[in-house]
Amino acid sequence: MTVIENRNARMFIRIAVPVLLTAAAVLCALFASDGRKYAIITVIVTLLSLLLFLSGFDKKRIGSRRLVLGAVFITLAVAGRFIPQLKPLTAVVIISGMFTGAETGFLVGAVSVLISNIFFGNGPWTPLQMTAMGLIGFFGGVFSNGLKKSKILLALYGIACGIFYSMFMDIWTTCSATGSLQLSAYLQSVTAAIPFTVIYAVSNVIYLLLLTPPFYRKLERIAEKYGL
């Protein structure tokens, strides 16, 4: 396979996998809310997350080093979820995408949710949580240049992620309550969640503004030293 074909394959995976995962998560909310069918979709989400991560490998050494950094971020994100109320999970996932790439950001987001849900409880909501948090990390990598340069853009992205995550998870809230995705019921769920969404969005901004500068200094040194 030529270099161009490799790049085209990676680009296809980079676009197709997030789309497939989003569809799978929504289908899980719609059709797998009873029984344990959601476990199959959880496995699919995990495997596709790994595929997306592997598609970002350019060189073996760089790939393995990104994997190590990804594992460190996953550990920090899981630990952060145990902090009551204002949790730094989303901020850590965003930062992982910004400094280790979109593919790694997706993996960190998805796997962090999967591991932490061992303690907080797995269920039909897990694939939605994994997908939403994965997308947050993924687009943190896609928009990394702008997010690194502007605190305003970083704060706005933190707010957007809080709103997106809350509204995405309201799909599950609506489906579990009504058995279908009815627009009126969904809007009621979104409206009822506004206070929690605001707190979540504000906490994202606080953690991003506090954590990004020290992470930036440390990870830039690592990137320079190891050629990441």
CA distance 206 to 15: 31
- Given a cut of 70, is residue 58 above it in pLDDT? no
Residue with tokens 């997306």: 52
Q: What is the pLDDT of residues 174-207, one digit of tens each?
A: 887 777 778 888 899 999 999 999 999 999 999 9
CA distance 141 to 147: 9
Cα R_g (the chain), whole angstroms: 17
How would you classify residue 227: left for phi > 0, otherwise alpha for psi between -120 and 50, otherwise beta?
left
Q: What is the pLDDT of residues 87-120, one digit of tens each?
A: 899 999 999 999 888 888 988 999 999 999 988 8
Distant-in-sequence, close-in-space partners of 209: CB < 8 Å, separation ≥ 6: 151, 154, 155
Q: What is the pLDDT of residues 201-226, one digit of tens each?
A: 999 999 999 999 888 888 777 766 66
What average pLDDT does this structure show over 151-172?
Answer: 93
Identify the band that residue 62 occupies on the pLDDT scale cut at 50, 70 and 90. low
Q: What is the CATH number of domain 3-226?
A: 1.10.1760.20
Domain edges within the chain: 3-226
What pLDDT score was predicted for residue 3? 46
Question: Taking a C-beta distance cutoff of 8 angstroms, is the pair 142, 104 a contact?
Answer: no
CA distance 223 to 226: 5
Question: Taking a C-beta distance cutoff of 8 angstroms, is the pair 131, 167 a contact?
Answer: no
Cα–Cα–Cα angle for 177, 18, 176, rounded to 5 degrees: 5
Identify the band that residue 167 occupies on the pLDDT scale cut at 50, 70 and 90. very high
**In terms of DSSP H, where are the helices of 123-182?**
126-142, 144-149, 151-178
* pTM strictly above 0.75: yes
Q: What is the pLDDT of residues 17-42, one digit of tens each?
A: 777 777 777 776 666 555 566 777 77
Q: What is the pLDDT of residues 118-127, one digit of tens each?
A: 888 888 788 8
- For residue 201, give the nearest of 141, 152, 142, 157 by alpha carbon: 157
Q: What are phi and psi of 215, to 5 degrees?
A: -65, -40
CA distance 159 to 166: 11
The three-state secondary structure class of 87 is coil
